[in-house]
Structure 1
Amino acid sequence: MITAATVKELRDKTNAGMMDCKKVLNETNGDIEAAIKLLRERGIVKAASKSDRAATEGIITSRVASDSKSGVLLEINCETDFVSRNENFQAFVAEVADAVASSKAADLDAALEVQKGDINVGDYVKTKVLELGENIQFRKYVRFDAAPGGVVVSYIHMGGKVGVLLEVGTTKEETASQDAFKELIKDLTLHIAAAAPKGLSRADIPAEVADAEKEIYRARLAESGKPANIIENILVGQMNKFFAESCFLEQGFVKDDKVTINKLVEETGKSLGDTITVTRFVRFGLGE
């Protein structure tokens, strides 16, 4: 029997109508993930993006070294918006950020072991749980150390709801001090925050993710009655569109969608007499 709670969960994840949700849940014997896929195949709902999920509260923050050769991005969560806006909690997040940024911690496990006074960061987080009366979690952490010629930059949006860490490479030392380069890397972080690319290039999109999208497109086209050979031709265009929307370098720039990010980077490099490359990025969305 399909419960009301299961129907509500599916509606919360897809925004589909109640009757549609009940129907697909009955068809999939209550399997939420299978029901979501079925709704998408029927064109009733688009893929649920991470930004649509209910987010836990907290703060995303960053620290970048003065020489821009390294940087960290981290997320610390709490239960309520009230606590996230509390000066005590905000000061605590800043202290943790300063501690891990000054260390060489490469990942979250290492960051939790960084010493903060007489205890490590992990135990320091636990003391805040007792003090604030909420479940506090140091949930995500990443560190970038730039390759030779590289620059690390960060951007925090919406007061700590979204954070970006980006590494960009150059071949000329003087490029990093040029205004055009500074404007470029600022624009790139703003774009990542707004567009939420799934990967840098097609190589970063897992094959299973791309294959799942392709099967959803194929199912929709098959329902329309199109011949198999026509469907395969259409799928090529559909998948190119999927990659153009998902891959950072292929996305249209948010300030001018007629220009791809790849083209923007290339043209800026030419204007500076350099070859600029986007090495890597990470984007945190609160609670994602």
Structure 2
Amino acid sequence: MANITAAMVKELRDRTGAGMMACKKALEETGGDIEKAIDKLREMGLASAAKKAGREAKEGKVASYIHAGGKIGVLVEINCETDFVANTDDFNALCKDIAMHIAAAAPEYVSREEIPQDVVEKEKNIMKEQLKQQGKPEHILDKIVEGKIEKFYEEVCLLEQPFIKDPDMKVKDLVQNTIAKLGENIVVRRFARFKVGE
């Protein structure tokens, strides 16, 4: 077994923000490989984040963001489980990032579950009609529409959108990573986006 030094544990803690025992365990399990230990901690954190997702989140913040010389404004309510977490820098940074993202990307809904079924059906019908006009065979229409509806969710749902600061990650991944880091369930409850003249 690799010799896990205090310096290695400290480096891993500094790089991940994870607890000392979790860092030591991850280093032991990866034979002292710092990079693999970082991946291991992320896996552990995201697994525990999934477990926390069912817990009730009644604390939190309403964050605001004003952009483009006062032409666009956003209010967003983001909840967590405790007042303590609501006052951490990480939680506040998440609130600010999400408010800024909403200003830039103009989502219409928080999640796909929020979209009324009739809106989804209407989109599917429009897509099907367009595909028919393009001469696509009837038997593959539904398959193509399923792919296109996923793209639609990505355009209109906040949590499905690629995060403006890091398009390789969706907004829901940003939230999951913060849950993993802070150890509490975090929920984007609702938002309002205002644009002058709209």
Q: TM-score, normalised by structure 1?
A: 0.47
Question: Matches of 1:286 and 1:223 in 2, distance apart?
Answer: 38
| Residue in structure 2 matched with residue 187 of structure 1 by the alignment | 97
Name the CA distance, whole Å, in 1 between partners of 2:68 and 2:136.
45
Deviation at 1:209, TM superposition (A): 2.8
Equivalent residue in structure 2 for 1:267, among 171, 177, 182 = 177
Q: Which of the numbers 243, 246, 258 marks the counterpart of 2:156?
A: 246
> Which residue pairs with 1:154 in the alignment?
64
CA-based RMSD: 1.5
Q: Which has the higher helix share?
A: 2
**Secondary structure of the structure 1 residue equivalent to 2:185:** coil
Residue type of the partner of 1:266? Answer: Q
**Larger radius of gyration between Structure 1 and Structure 2:** 1
Give yes or no for the alignment of 1:212 onto 2:141.
Answer: no
Tell me, yes or no, if structure 1 residue 165 matches structure 2 residue 75. yes
Q: Which amino acid aligns with 1:254?
A: I
Give the CA deviation at 1:204: 2.4
Corresponding residue of 1:234:
144
| Counterpart code for 1:253 | F
Amino acid at match of 2:155: E
Q: In structure 2, what is the Cα distance between the partners aligned to 1:148 and 1:231? A: 43
SS for the counterpart of 2:110 is: coil
Give a deviation string over 1:154-186, Cα, whole Å, max 9, x none. 111112211111111111221122211111111
The 1:205–1:148 alpha-carbon spacing in structure 2 relative to 1, beyond 3 Å, is closer
CA distance in 1, matches of 2:126, 2:197: 27
Q: Which has the higher strand share?
A: 1
**Counterpart Cα distance in 2 of 1:210 and 1:286:** 28
The superposition leaves residues 64-109 of structure 1 with CA deviations (integer Å, 9 ceiling, x where unpaired) of: xxxxxxxxxxxxxxxxxxxxxxxxxxxxxxxxxxxxxxxxxxxxxx
Structure with the bigger RCO (C-alpha within 8 Å, sep 6+) is: 2
Query: What residue ranges of structure 2 are gaps of 5+ in the alignment?
Result: 1-56
Q: State whether residues 60 and 82 of structure 2, in contact with CA within 8 Å, keep that contact through their aligned partners in structure 1.
A: no
- Percent sequence identity over aligned pairs: 46
Q: Structure 1: where are the runs of 5+ without partners? A: 1-146
Moved more, 176-185 or 210-219: 210-219
- What are the within-5 Å matches in structure 2 for residues 46-195 of structure 1? 148-195=58-105
Q: Secondary structure at the match of 1:271?
A: helix
Q: What SS class does the counterpart of residue 221 from structure 1 fall into? A: helix
Q: Distance in 1 between matches of 2:184 and 2:97?
A: 18
